[in-house]
Amino acid sequence: MSEISIGKEFLELAIEIEKNGRFFYEVAARLNRNKEIGDVFARLAAREKEHENTFHDMLSQLGGYRPNQKYTGEHYQYIRDLAQSSIFAGEQAQTVLRRKSITDVEAVEIGISFEKDSILFYSEMRGMMPRHDQGIVDVITSEEKRHLSELTYMANKLRSGI
């Protein structure tokens, strides 16, 4: 296996996760019957687009950064496995959206799963980024936590019938 820029790999996967999350939120906002939830999804889609742009900017400035590794490729498979297990990795996002009968509660719960996956991914990968980019990853992780809180609030509100 040739040497890989883990920072680059991380950012490419982060961009994919953000794109898929944005796509889900955009579609969910259009399909949603509840205006308040639709508005939340539209806001979240816009924020995911901002995250996507931030990661693109970081990628263009990254160069060939490689975190310390005990052996070549040590982090590569872990990054790949973690990102691909995300609910919004690759085709999983589109499979979820192809279902015709997704309820408001299901859509919010899927969003919650996405945010949890994103938080885990970014938290794990933070240490593999150059120090000067770790603060940006921290900001995005904090935003993902706020998204999780907002969606959890919406889910509780839907379940209680408020």
Q: Which of 6-10, 12-16, 150-154 has the lowest mean pLDDT?
A: 6-10
d(CA 119, CA 123): 6
Shortest CA distance to 7 belongs to which of 133, 129, 134, 136?
129
Average pLDDT rounded to a whole number, residues 23-48: 89
Kindly report, residue by residue over 59-109, the tens digit of the pLDDT: 777 655 555 666 556 566 666 676 666 655 556 656 666 666 778 888 898
Q: Which of 7-16, 58-67, 139-148 has the lowest mean pLDDT?
A: 58-67
Give the CATH class of 6-160: mainly alpha
Shortest CA distance to 6 belongs to which of 54, 52, 84, 59?
59
The domain limits of the chain are 6-160
Average pLDDT rounded to a whole number, residues 115-131: 83
Q: Is this prediction's pTM over 0.75? A: yes
